[in-house]
Each structure stands twice: as structure tokens, then as C-alpha cells.
Chain A
């Protein structure tokens, strides 16, 4: 029977809630494992879960330098969508979307996946033509997409300035109704519990500070909790990729670390029941279940490992918000924070064997890795277990930068701050 159920709730209520098990154990590290995953974010945890569930590999440790959820999995603005242009991206992210639709049941953990829709706004006829092209590319591969006119947009979000005198008048939008949001902490906790129950050791406060090598081959790691060895070592550390891979002797990768800031306002009455993105700059917003508006914009634009941002982008994001929703001017901002993202050179992720023997690498998620959490773990587990990619991550190789098969959805070239 499911650990969390109406019956369990009743039973535990009657016994004073004393018999719940902790969501995951706090084991001591074993000297060796079949697989070590460096990084206890969403992707590391989902990889561990699918290694156990899909491939029967349960002698696995997830090593997290802080506490679970302290990285980007707990810092993002929770948008989940699959509205890409290029077929490699559409297939991968739509696979993820289908997994999201089943995730709460699969994990027996409510990740509060809410298909409230994601609407991209367009501000010129040319942009609407581009949306039509993108929508057709999506529908061609079985993904839902719908063009909306200004009247329909105004009906959906009455707070928006749809007038011709707006700073950037709205011409239309592209809606994906199956897209939406999920509760980010719950995703980390749900995967952690489900992996733990299948035997995975989750080792918090366990920072990897070096790699043990036998020739070229990676055979273990040194950590703040001692030396741990494994047959296979997988790295999924998001914004820390450059720093961690340097410890393994890989000193150049097609990756730059950048800070992305996010903001949340005080709670207000229901104002926005979809996710909206702005087409004349970079701005996106949703309203949380508690009522706060959660939003963000561009990255600060220069390499950073500091989990805080600088002021010019704060001003930039606020001005974009007010260009769209002038009525939000009096609403107070409660807090802001930053997360470090691994920006790749074509804006697409890397899920691959290597680059050293015994090693596996998952990185390059840029702005958008939260939505990828299920498919990323699923594909990375496959790659680790079988030593070859799944069909969905085969295009996302490290080698694509050499072969020229880059996946540049925005057509920006090798300038990470533009992706």
C-alpha cells in the first residue's frame, strides 16, 4: 500500500502522528558503491530514483554538499513547459511533460503539478509569425499549442495592459495549456524519499573536493566525509559544473556559470492564473498558491558563482513587469535571491558518458532545467546503466560542439548570456 494515503493519514492521526517514518534515512557513507552521483539537486535525485526503478541498480549514493534542495531545484521559478522549436528539444521536453503528468502518482508524493498554462506574449506581426511556426512545429510532434488574440489574452489576464498605448503593445500570444508549474521543494523531497525507499543512500553535508583516478579513469571521490569509491561516477552539479569538473582535471568545457535572480511579492488576491512570458524583453511571472507573484528576467550576464545578484538587473526586471502590468506598481517585493546556472554554448543541455573513463556528465541546463527534472534523470540513468544514451538524450552529447550538431533553439550562437 502507498505510504502516503487517506488511510495512512487517518491511522496516523489516531496515533498522534508519532509513527511517520522520516522521508529519507541519514546513513553513513559506505566505502564503495556501484554508482556515485555528485549533486543532490533534482537531477541527481531523479537519476538515482530511475537507476533503481528502471535498471535495478540500488547500490547508489547521492552526495550533496549542503542540504537537499539548497541548489537550483529549490531556487527556481517553477515553470514547466515543452514549447520549443527544434525537434530534439520538443521530443525531450515533451517526454518530461508526460512524466510530470504522472509524477505525483509515480512517487506517491504530491508535487503539486498544476497545468495552468504558459502563455508567451508577442508584440509584432513578425513575432506572431514566429509563434505560428513554433506552434506548428510543436503540433507536428503531438504537443499542444494554440495562438491567442488580444481579446482572449485580456480575458485570461484582466490585469494586463493590452491597450495600443502600452510601452510594447501586445499583438497576440502562443499558449501551451498543458504546461504550468510544480512545487519545486516537493520534487526534491519526493524523489529523495522514493530513491531512499529503493535503497539509495542520500548523503547530505558531503562535499566532493577531489576525484580519485587510476590513470585516466575516475574510480572515486574524496569528500568532507572521507573517501568513497565507485564503478561509475556521475556528476550533476548544475551551476558548479566548471568548478567540480576542474577537480577531475577537465579544465575547459562549453559551459559558463551565471547568476539568475528571482523575486517574490507579498501575497495578493488571485491575479494571474497562468504563467506569462514577455516577448519584448526577458520576463516571466506566475502567482504562487500562497498568492505571491513569482517572477524573474535575464541573467546578470557575466560569470558568477555568487548566489546573489546585482542591482541593474533588478531594475530591468521591475521595469518589464510594470510595462506589462502597470497596476502592480504598489505591490511590495518580499524577497529576492539568486541561483547559479550552467549556461551552455548553444543553450541546450549535455547528458553524456565521459568526458573521462568511468565518468558521466549531466549539465548545461541554462535557465530551463527544472522542467527537465524527470526526463533528465530518466535519460541520465539510462546512459549510466547502459553506457549509451537513450534516444531522447542522444542529441545532447558533449561531442556535438566538435561535430557541429549544436542545438541552438534561439539561434544566438556561442554567447551564453544571450540564450
Chain B
């Protein structure tokens, strides 16, 4: 699988770290809305088809990327920067030591 980083061009998937489901919204840190936190931490869309997800180009420019990928064919429909796609930066909270 190749992912085309907007900075670096097409690179092998092993250069990237998967940061998971991009459909989630991280509540504001001060929020005490338990349902919202619960949904953010545990609930996943897990669709068979076009999936919005976050990848980090950890072996390259280190940018966080918003990727739309088919989970049935692995075809990638689009790659953009997370900040431009308006995603919240929940990827900062991914556990250290995450495997690529």
C-alpha cells in the first residue's frame, strides 16, 4: 500500500503510523460531558467502505494526514493535512510506542 504524502509524495505504508478513526471529535479538555468523552474514546465508525482516518508520516515529514481509504480494497481516495481538514488534534494523545 502506498500513501501519497502531500509534502513527500508516494511512500510505502511502512513509513506511516496509523492513528485511527478520523470521525471522532475530541471534547474540549474542560468538558465533563461523559457521553461525549465515552464516544470519543471508545466508539468507532468501522465502516466497510470509504473510511476517514488519520495517519502520521512518522518516517518522513511527520505531518498528520487526513486520509480517505476504502477498507475493502485499500484504495485511497484522498490525502490532505489534518489541520486543513479541520480535524481536532487528538493524535497528540496516541500512546507512545505505537507500532507502525
Interface assignment of B92: CB less than 8 Å from any CB of chain A: no
Q: How distant is the Cα of A253 from the Cα of B73 in the complex, in angstroms?
A: 22
Interface assignment of A44: CB less than 8 Å from any CB of chain B: no
Interface assignment of B30: CB less than 8 Å from any CB of chain A: no
Q: Are B44 and A254 in contact (CB under 8 A)?
A: yes
Q: How distant is the Cα of A110 from the Cα of B47 in the complex, in angstroms?
A: 38
Q: Are B45 and A251 in contact (CB under 8 A)?
A: yes
Q: Are A256 and B38 in contact (CB under 8 A)?
A: no
Q: Are A312 and B38 in contact (CB under 8 A)?
A: no
Q: Are B98 and A418 in contact (CB under 8 A)?
A: yes
Q: Are A413 and B48 in contact (CB under 8 A)?
A: no
Do A305 and B21 form a contact, CB below 8 Å, given A412-B95, A415-B94, A417-B99? no
Q: Are A306 and B46 in contact (CB under 8 A)?
A: no
* CB-based nearest A residue for B16: A302
Q: How distant is the Cα of A301 from the Cα of B45 in the complex, in angstroms?
A: 16
Do A255 and B46 form a contact, CB below 8 Å, given A298-B99, A303-B53? yes
Do A312 and B14 form a contact, CB below 8 Å, given A304-B74, A306-B73, A413-B95? yes
Residues of A within 8 A of B14 (CB): 312
Interface assignment of B51: CB less than 8 Å from any CB of chain A: yes
Q: How distant is the Cα of A310 from the Cα of B73 in the complex, in angstroms?
A: 12
**Which chain A residues numbered 233 to 254 have a C-beta less than 8 Å away from chain B?**
240-243, 246, 251-254
Give the interface of B toward A (CB within 8 A): 1, 12-14, 18, 20-21, 38-39, 41-48, 51, 53, 69, 71-74, 94-95, 98-100
- Other 18 A-B pairs with CB < 8 A, given A242-B48, A252-B43, A306-B73: A252-B46, A253-B43, A253-B46, A254-B44, A256-B20, A257-B46, A298-B99, A302-B18, A303-B21, A303-B51, A304-B71, A310-B74, A312-B12, A345-B41, A402-B38, A415-B94, A417-B18, A418-B95
